[in-house]
Structure 1
Amino acid sequence: MPLTFLAADHDSAGAPSEIPLPHTEQDYWRRPYRPGPWRVAVAAVTLLVAAYLLISGVIIILAGSPTGAGATAVAAVLAIAFALRLLRIGIWVSPRGLRRVGLLRTQTLRWRDIARVCTVQQPVKWLGLPRSVQGQAVHIERRRGEALRTLLTDHSADFLARPEAFDRAADVLEAWAAERR
């Protein structure tokens, strides 16, 4: 059975090109860069720990301690939620605005509320740790209020040792901001 909707050239495969997409561009948020290897590695290790916790929960329930199994299952669910949230951290864009997703909080700004998006040289945190090094950061200024806390740096978990990926992501964010304002 051919899966023409998965092919890049599905029009030539015989699928009609008039099929509407399941989403509109208004409600489509996307990240203009891929998650970095450090972020993916930490999430993978966290999911591995969650798998061990779930297996140990099964062993504990078979041993006859439902309270211990429940606590272990809750710890596993929290680890899975942490790993999934860790993979979503970053800057997301859509025609409606810019969304800054953090570990515990998400902040959405409309394009008309953003005064400027630029890349600046400044001391940045290395992998989010207290140690600061000289680097680049994407600075997002609002029209009213204070600037957004810096989330996108060339020494973050997404761009460490990948300077060309940071440059591409910064250029894409600046282009989206210039086009939508």
Structure 2
Amino acid sequence: MGSHWVRPYPPGTGRWLVIVWEAVALALLTWATIRQFDLIGHGVRAVAVVLAAVWVIGAWRIVQHGVYVSSEGVLIRGLLRSRILHWRDIAGVHLHQATHRVGRWELQRDTTVVIERHDGATVNTELWAQGVDFHARPKLFRAVYQEIRRRHLAARLLPEN
């Protein structure tokens, strides 16, 4: 069954800043590698091509990163992997207040969207209120959360085939 996956929000400007930041970091790594190993000719080209390819692949994954919905379910695209959760396997979609601890310190509390499966497991999404897509757009974060909940409810109301 083919699905038309749609990201229910436009990417934030922070995403593009991350891509530019990574380009600068890889350019500095390229320069440092060439200087450190006194590379010339083909060595310079090889390092530049490899790190440029890493940047292109990483930038593409950053652009595609996020949560998509369709009539089939939810597609979560992370930096390293993607997964599909079918609506029939989802028990609920909830907001979760996340706390990050490093040793004795409690860092940043933030609101994320969590999907609860029927088997009791929870799946973290790529949606968080202070993330690159929603940091300056809290109303959009709530609207996306409501859209995913609405689609989940609509899918539960449809008769099974």
* Fold shared, TM-score > 0.5 on shorter chain: yes
Number of equivalenced pairs = 144
Give the match's secondary structure for 1:38: helix
Greater Cα offset, 42-51 or 163-172: 42-51
2:91 aligned with 1:115: yes
Which of 98, 110, 115 lines up with 1:135 in the alignment? Answer: 110
Say if 1:50 and 1:77, in contact at 8 Å, map to a contact too: no
Q: CA deviation at 1:87?
A: 1.5
Partner of 2:119: 144
Say if 2:67 and 2:125, in contact at 8 Å, map to a contact too: no
Task: Describe the superposition over 1:71-108 as per-residue Cα deviations: whole angstroms up to 9, x where unpaired.
Answer: 21011011111111011111111111111111101111
Please show how residues 25-36 of structure 1 align to structure 2 within 5 Å: 26-36=2-12
Distance 2:44 2:27 in 1: 16
Greater Cα offset, 165-174 or 145-154: 145-154
Give the match's secondary structure for 2:128: coil
Q: CA deviation at 1:131?
A: 6.8
Say if 1:26 and 1:94, in contact at 8 Å, map to a contact too: no
Say if 2:8 and 2:147, in contact at 8 Å, map to a contact too: yes
Q: CA deviation at 1:118?
A: 2.1
Partner of 1:15: none
Q: For 1:37, give the aligned amino acid.
A: T
Partner of 2:152: 177
Say if 1:53 and 1:72, in contact at 8 Å, map to a contact too: no
Moved over 3 A (4+): 44-54
Structure 1 gap ranges (5+):
1-24, 55-62
* TM-score normalised to structure 2 length: 0.76
Distance 1:91 1:171 in 2: 13
* TM-score normalised to structure 1 length: 0.68
Over aligned residue pairs, what C-alpha RMSD do you find? 2.8
Partner of 1:81: 57
Give the match's secondary structure for 2:123: coil
Partner of 2:159: none
Q: Which has the larger radius of gyration?
A: 1
